[in-house]
Amino acid sequence: MSAPPIRPAPVPPELLDQPLDFLLAEHQRQKEMCGLLEAAASGQETADAATAILLDFLERELPLHRADEEDDLYGLMRRRCQPEDGIEALLDRLAMPAGLEEALAATLSGRRADAPIAGLAMQVTLFVTPLRLHFAYANAILIPLGRRRLRRSDLAGLARRMRERRGMPPEPAG
Ligand SMILES: [Fe+2]
């Protein structure tokens, strides 16, 4: 059996001061989580520790990331983009189906330590496929467009909202 996949490292909270870089770093972490999920689905990764990490990712971390993008970033992009940017078509491509992570978390919660469970592999495939498309479009198009179109005050406001969402003070200490 090959070595288990690495445990994805958390994104340093200091990076919230550069919110677009933070989202990019979260996408990298999410890519690694997709690998861990696939390992869990195949039975390669069976430790309870992996399940705990994945449940925290699905139940706590991913909803925060979704809210950062869907409740804050996308609205800023709609406001600042130019017609030639095609922002609505891009946001359509970035959309992630709702409910998949909740269903996957419910399945993982029922998983026992020593075996893959029926249906997990299909659920993981349904979950990771649109997420990987989201990374591709966001990293290659949305984030670079955001760097061009968003103003300094937009980024500061986005950082503040993302910090508040994580229970951190609105301004960085020091
Ligand atoms: Fe994202």
Pairwise CA distance, residues 171 & 75, whole Å: 22
CA distances from 106 to 43, 55, 101, 124 (A): 17, 9, 8, 12
Give me ligand 1 centre to Cα 65, in Å. Answer: 6
**111 in a domain, yes or no?**
yes
Pairwise CA distance, residues 174 & 159, whole Å: 16
**173 in a domain, yes or no?**
no
**170 in a domain, yes or no?**
no
The pair phi, psi for residue 44, each rounded to 5°, is: -70, -35
Alpha helices, H only, the chain: 19-42, 48-56, 62-67, 74-80, 87-94, 100-109, 120-137, 143-149, 152-165
Which pTM value belongs to this model?
0.89
**171 in a domain, yes or no?**
no
- Identify the pLDDT of residue 115: 55
Burial of 153 from C-beta contacts in 10 A (0-12 / 13-18 / 19+): exposed
Range of the domain at 42: 15-165
**138 in a domain, yes or no?**
yes
Give me ligand 1 centre to Cα 164, in Å. Answer: 18
Pairwise CA distance, residues 31 & 133, whole Å: 11
**112 in a domain, yes or no?**
yes
Give me ligand 1 centre to Cα 143, in Å. Answer: 10
Give me ligand 1 centre to Cα 29, in Å. Answer: 11
Give the residues of the chain that fall short of pLDDT 50: 1
**57 in a domain, yes or no?**
yes
**7 in a domain, yes or no?**
no
State how many domains the chain has: 1
- Identify the pLDDT of residue 52: 86
Give me ligand 1 centre to Cα 119, in Å. Answer: 26
CATH label of the domain that carries residue 68: 1.20.120.520
Token code pair at residue 10? 């958390």
- Identify the pLDDT of residue 42: 82
pLDDT of 54-103, one tens digit each? 999 999 999 999 999 999 999 999 999 999 999 999 999 998 888 888 88
